[in-house]
Structures are given as structure tokens and as C-alpha cells.
Amino acid sequence: MTDNPKAFPLPHFEQNGKVFYQDGMTLRDWFAGQALTSTMRLVTGHESEPGEGMAQTFARRAYEVADAMLEARKAKP
């Protein structure tokens, strides 16, 4: 799996003597959500896997784009 840091982590905080930490969503999930609208416009029915509904195709393709975005982050300018 590619490097997949948290997209919106929050620092540790203390409340009433208890320490909390909220990780936030993963960067992959954030990227997939951002790619979803474009993916939905570009995906056609013939791109579905056998037995896969259109919603599953959209989700699969959005995560494929997200994975490609994570890989692209590794390239140094």
C-alpha cells in the first residue's frame, strides 16, 4: 500500500483529565472523495466488472484515482 497519512489530524487534547486524539480521515479517502465527481462523469457502463453495479464501479474507480494521486505525491519536483 502506498503512503497514506491522515488528511486532517487533530492534535492530542485533554478534557476532564482524559487525553483524546482524533486521526481524521485518510488522505486516500479524501482523494477518493475529491475524484468521485469526475469519476461519475467519466465512468460508463462498459467499465463495470462482471456483477458490479454502477455505484460499485464509481467507488472502485474513485479509489483507483486516489491511489494514483498518492503515488504521484512521491515524485519530487
pLDDT tens-digit readout, 17-52: 777 767 778 888 888 888 877 766 766 656 778 888
Residue 76 has pLDDT above 60, yes or no: yes
Element spanning 20, H or E: strand 18-20
Q: What is the DSSP string of the chain?
A: -----BSS----EEETTEEE-----BHHHHHHHHHHHHHHHH--GGGSPTT--HHHHHHHHHHHHHHHHHHHHTS--
Q: Where are the domains of the chain?
A: 25-73
Share of the chain above pLDDT 70, in %: 75
Q: Where is pLDDT greater, at 54 or 1?
A: 54
